[in-house]
Structure formats: C-alpha cells, structure tokens
Structure 1
C-alpha cells in the first residue's frame, strides 16, 4: 500500500493564517495589557484614597470619620463590617499594603462586589481600614459607563475582525494575479508560447511569467530541432541501411551458388553485419515513428495478432544460433483493428531483446487476446564476447513509442527472469483475469 501523501497547506493560506495569528496575538496581548493597566490604575487610586483617609485619621480622627465615612477605621479586625471579615480569610498582616478581594463567578465575568482592606499603625496602636464597592453603592457618574470590560472585549473583537478583513482583502488582491499566472502557465502550448505574456498587475509576477515563457520557448525550440534531426537522420539512414541489407542478401546468394568451401570466419563476419543492419533498420523505423506528429491518424486494419507474433519469432531465430536456448511460444487466435507497422516494430524489439540477451535457459512468449508477454532467463554474469547491438536504446525507444501510442507497456526483472508485457489496447478483461 502506498503511503498517504502528506497534505500540504497552500502558500496563500499559510501567509493568511500567519498574519491572522499574529494579529490575533497582538490584539489579545494588548487587550490583556490594557486590562492589567486599568485594574492596576484603579487599585492605585483606591490605595491613594485609603492612604489619605489614614493620614486624615492620624491628624484629626473626628474630621476624618466625617469625610471618609465609607472607610471605617477600627482598632481591631473583629470590629470591621461582617462583609469585610467574610471576604478576607485573615486580617491584613503587612503594614501599608492594600489587600483586595473580588466576588466574581469567573475571570471573564463582572465582579458583583470588590473589597479592600489595609493595616496601619498609629501612636495609639494598630488600626484596620476597609472599603467595599457594591452594585448599589456605585456612583451615578460611573453607572452611566458600566460594562467597561465588556466594551474592551468588543473593541478587541472588532479589531480582530477588522484585521482579518484587511488580511482577506490583501490576500485576495495578491492571490488573484497569482492564480491567473498559474492558469496561464498551465495553458501554455506551442501556439500560446508565441504570444506575449499578459499583465499580472505586479512587476515581479510579470518578470516571472516572462521567464517561464522564455524558458519554455527555448525548450520548445530544442524539441523541434531534435524532432527535425531525428526525422531527417532517420530518412537519410534508410538508404545506406538498404544498401547494406541488399549486399548481405547478395553475399548469402553468392555463397549458396558457390561450389567452393566458404571460410567460417567470413560467415561469422557476414552474420554480424546482418545482425547489425537489422538492428539499425529497426531503430531507424522506431525513430521515424517517434517523429510522427499525430499518432491518432494512423490507419488501422484487422490484424491477426497470433500470426504476427509467430512471424516475428521466426524472423528473429537467427539471433539464437549457437545458443542453448529453448523457445516456448504459445499464441491464441485473435484478430483486432491495429496500426500494423508500429505494432510490428514494438513486438519485434521485445522479441529481439529477449533473444539477444539469452545465452541459455528458455524464452517464453505468450500471446493472449491483445496482450503479449515475453520473458527470458537473465544470465548471472555478462558475456564479455557478447555484442551489444543497441537493444538498450531500442527498449528506451519502445517505451517512448508505446507511451505515444497509448499502449500499456511494462518491462521489469523478476528474480532470474526478465519480463516484458505489452497491451496493444486497453486490457482485455478475460486476458487480464487469466494472466494474474
């Protein structure tokens, strides 16, 4: 089972999420900072008021009790109001330090009451001062501005939404030309490469589009030059190959007609020339077919596939001369509409490769419906005297030709055998089931 490809986030969403996360982090951070400064400021103001009340008490207790009647001062903690004593688990210990307790359900909810307490020392002994803020005791001026923390949350939320909207607008402004650039690049072909690149709103994108167009234009020109070279070279090679083939046949006829004993070395040399010319002929034909612009217009006619395979096997048997190789051929009568010339080239290359690279063992050739399977024994060591007549290149060209024709082709080594399988059309259901 293939491993699942890790899903990757697009660059557009990565940048948007990064900016949005940074913005939310800043908004939350400054919100908490503002809240902290607000609470500290209120505590400072309350501490200052209680400090003034304590100083007034030290100066003139009677006047201070009038001015600061909501800041009760007692000589013992037990004399403080019951609400204050319940709010604090123990009396304030440190002198001159403001103690505070909140009566609230959770951190985000508004406190229902706030209690303050302070401990200070006078010539007459220790004193305790307290203050409480209850909902019914809030001044009218402050009741008109309740919900400060809620307002702060709404401001923070509005800031985050505004930031998100701005990021969305910016990303939309940037992503549109980037998407247009991608669609334009995917739609490039031989005709559109000649047209100038459109305007993508930003100089960087325009430069990149021009770079893509010029690079693909250079690659296209290189492919066209290679295409012309292969086509012209293949055409030019057909004449000398034909001359070589004709002269080889003439030499064979002269040897058959001659009554003199022919030197064995001459026969071996002629056979090498024959095999080399056959290889050149097949490679040239393959190159010519690869150089065709349109494979869809190939004329198809009914072809007896089993007869074609048998014919090619007999033509290639000369490659097994002097080898201890057993050929097992099994065919199934089957006729199908087919472009015969490229089929003959591809099948010929597969059979030639199996015969050429087999020194012993067996070559199995199975044709079932529209599938042809060729397998041969792989030699454990290479023969240093074996002639490499270009069948590696032939198989590479076969791969390209079958891909261009839309045929399914597979060539791989399994253990000590090399297996090549060719489907000349989409796999036949019966053949696929029987070949499993």
Structure 2
C-alpha cells in the first residue's frame, strides 16, 4: 500500500491538525524528511509546488526511522487533493519526500473500519484507545473488537453525563471595549484551547461548551460557521473566532514586537518575565518561532530588555546559561526567590539604624562676647607680669647659696 494513501496516515494527519488548530483542508503531511534539514529549506521546497501557495511548517516529530521526521505544514491556499503530487523532490538531490493530504472520500457502506474511525472521531477518541482495551485480550476477534468499542463508548457516555461538573468558560461577545463581566479575546481563547486540550468529553460536548459561552457578534460568527459546515469541529470554531476577533499581525510581526519589549520603571523582574511570556506565546501560536527555540529566545530577550535589574541578572548568572537555558517555570521560580531574598535584606537594613552623634549646640552671641572679654583680660595680666622688675633675693637665701658653692669646690665628690 502506498504511504500517501494509507488510512493510518490520513488519521494521523487529522489528529495532528486537531491538536495544532490547523484546518485540515489547508494541511499536508510530509514523510521521509531528514532530521537535520532546516525549516526554511522545507518551506522553500514546498513552495515550489504552485498549488500550495505560501507554506509554513507548524510542527514536526520523529518518523518511523530516527533519521527522518514527520512534518505538518499549513498552506495559505486550500488544497485540492486531485492536484497534489505523490511526492516532492528537494533541490539538493536527497530522496523525495512523500506527501499526505486529506482525501474527500466517503466510506463505503460495508467499510467497517472507516465507520469505526468516524465514530471514534466524533467521540473525541482514536484507535489507540481501542487498542489499549484490546491489549489484555488473547485474540482480536470481531467479538473482542465490538466488546472493546462498547466499553469505550460506555466510558465516553459516562464522562459526558458527568460533564456538568466543569468550570464554565466566561462570556465572550467580541465587543470592543470589553463590557464588564466579559472576557477579553486573548484570555477567552486561551481558556477555550485549554478546555479543548484537557477535557475528555466528546467533540459534541466541547462544541456545546464553546457555544454556550458566546453571545453577540461572536455567536453570530459561530452560527455562520455551522450554516456553512454543520460538522465543524471545536477547533474550527476557535480558528474562526480567532481570525475574526484576534490580531491580524503575522508571526513575524509579533516576533519583532516581542524583541522590542523593555522593562518598565519600577516593574519587578518577575512581572516583566510574565509579560514577555504572554507575548512569546502569541509568537509561537502564529508560527513566528519554533517551540524548540523558545527557551533560548526568552533568556536572550530577558537579558536585553531587563534594564532595571542588572544586578539581579548577574546574581542569577543568566549570561553563562544561554547555551542551556532554563524553562519558563524554572526561571520564574529562581527570579521570585531572588526577589524575596532582596526584600528580606531590605527589611533587615531598615531595622539596623545608624547612631548619629548629636551636634554641639551653637553658643549664643552674649556668651561669645563674654569669652572674648575674659581672654582680653587674661592677656593684659600676662603682659603686666612680664614688664614687672625681678624681686631681690633674701639675705638668708644668698648666704645659703654661697656656702653650698664653697663646699662644692672643696669636696671632689
């Protein structure tokens, strides 16, 4: 069987589009792509096929061989399966890359496997879930398959019945400015994507959760989507809302805006990092940056834009860690700990107050005049004592000095 016509690869492409929020009609799957090839080379090679128009690589993962990749691409133009070639030949002479697209083929009435796949898709499940239930069984007989599917649908039905115990999405209308009690477009779309990715309920229940949180212009968009495609998925609902109410900037424009982010005066480093991460997430979602490059780009922009926290950046030694950058959560935790230590040091410095010696009181003018008069009087007395004549020696003192002088001359000692 040709790889391009494999039903397993068709289902792989559909599941991948569902996870990456890519329209299946604009998506294609590449096989046998070398693991060391650049993304820009993949995009330029696929754009040589004129029917694809502009092509962007949305994701990739390891293929059947460790040296090859499976690559998910999104085309600007809607793909016509009848005009898609089976493969494309790279310019550098490497082996051809096989192409898989969604084929608009209705299953035959007796095609049990096709019906089973459609049933599982409607319930938000895949063949992997069925295989997990079949793995303990010794054989995969038709009875075993039917029993496994029945158990899977029973679990799905039970989860759907318990789906009322979830946190509802907040109301979103698309009105600008955002009315009180409603959510902004950015916050609402992030919550809706998390609900879709994390919830185990069926696809029908996910669509219901999205619709019940909408009103006004946003609800009108979904009505138009359902009118044109009654089987539209929850992912298609979100893509339609994001294209209508989201930013029209491309991934490249958002990336340049991210590179110009700077720390505001008085803004904590942790707050600046969270603001950066919000912008960086948009860049990745719009295809302006590959997920594998996120950690390195984040730390580079933090070093460039944190103009108010140079000392803290030195303490965290972020420049030395650019080659093996930490994840967002680890980096945020390190910064928060350093900020808490800085606050503790400031509190300690505030409790130890320096002892300032009291300044001597300034003498009054009257005291200064009195001291000057006293000094003048002392100087006058000193001058008078110097001018007075020497007193004559007493006779007794003079006779004593003469006797001592004579004894000194007689005694050699």
Q: What is the TM-score with the length of structure 2 in the denominator?
A: 0.22
Pick the structure with greater CA Rg: 1
Query: Which of the two has greater strand per residue?
Result: 1
